[in-house]
Structure 1
Amino acid sequence: AIDIHADPEVTVQNGTAGVLRCTFKSSEVVSSHTTVTWYFIYYFSNGQGFPGQEEFKDRVQFIGDINKRDVSIQLSPTQFSDNGTFFCDVKNPPDVKGTQARTELRVVLKSLPQSKTTVIVAGVCGALVLLVLIAVAACIVMRVLHNRHDYECTSLESMNSEAPQPRKKVESRVEGSRSTSPSGQRQGPVIYAQLDHSGSKNSFHKMEPVVYADIRKN
């Protein structure tokens, strides 16, 4: 049996050229009796190609080489109405039994190149990883600050409990040391002396001095 292969899915941007690839393998030699059918886009028979439905008349082109078992076609420009499923069928008498190859055509508004898509995905993943790292760092900092605050409060309470109580100022009192003088002024020592007044001219005798000292403290 003839073996037919086609791309399972083709995605193209609207307004650009879309290639529908199809190849086949056959034990028979390709001849003028070999036919190709792309339902319902294109027909190839007796060495000539014919468009299928009217909507594909000016937009379909045979770009394969039937002698090399390549029966690919190109549709340009593609339209959103081209979205759908297309079948490639090849008959190479007497090898005519085979399963049609199926292709899903998707026409999209804009198609991103694979490299740009990879870059975008990598950028999004990197941003998510960065956000996770920032969140983890913030949690660590908050925990450290919280532990430090608890440690400082505990240390302060311990210091307050161990600190000696301030001593009360005790006013020293000495009985009898305060002056009872109304004026409150300081007075120096008072000395009393008793002398001899006998009237003798030749001698001057001092009697035993009597000294009284009155020292007042303020």
Structure 2
Amino acid sequence: MRRPRQGTAALNVILLLYLVVFYAPSLVSSISVSTPAELHASKGDTVTLSCTFTSTSRPTSKMTVDWSYRPQSGGPPLTFFHFSSRAFLPPDGQFAGRIRWEGTPARGQASISLINATLNDNGTYTCSVRNPPDVHGSPTSYTVLTVTPKAASIHFSDVAVLLAFVLLPSTIVTLILIARILCPKKKHNQSKAYRSPIEVTEGEENGVHPPPKEKKASCCDLYMMDSEDEEGYYELKKRPPTDEGYAESQC
């Protein structure tokens, strides 16, 4: 009765060792890579393609990072960046001179920067990290980048030109109109003293004209008179005024 029990125990030990040998690496030695699902940028911007990873093993010189790109129109992915102890930037092609390594493997960073983004950069970017002996888990992650045209913006120079050619002339015209309304014209004042030839004043309807106003002699006029004229002038001043119209009516 004891032999069957001993055989069963031995079988259980064998099964346990089998599970440890074949499944322990997948449960312990694994790596996980994560990236944002979507990224949006404007034309000409510098875009950071973020990629982080976690590993049960400390990163060593055997760790590698690969970035690949698949256009939005489709097609096979193209690897344009590789890291193994140092960064290998793309020497030619679409991304030549526009990739910058931003990663720090000791901190779980495997990011890169895309300089001067263009509309042709739209597509799917894949980050792959390998850190032996961590060969299981999720070593890759994907990011969809969408680049749009940059919105038009008004610069200070444009505002200055607008003020100089539009607002300034309109302000001057407005001030001139206000000045003409508030300040009366000289002709308007002179028109009150001017009288049309057909206008008739009171007393002129019956043919009677008012005597002209006597003009007072100025100092200059007295200076230009002769002595005899000057005596006659003073005699006229001494005489009492007579009404010529009344004298005519007595005759």
TM-score by length of 1: 0.48
Q: Answer 1 or 2: which has greater helix percent.
A: 2
Q: Which has the larger radius of gyration?
A: 1
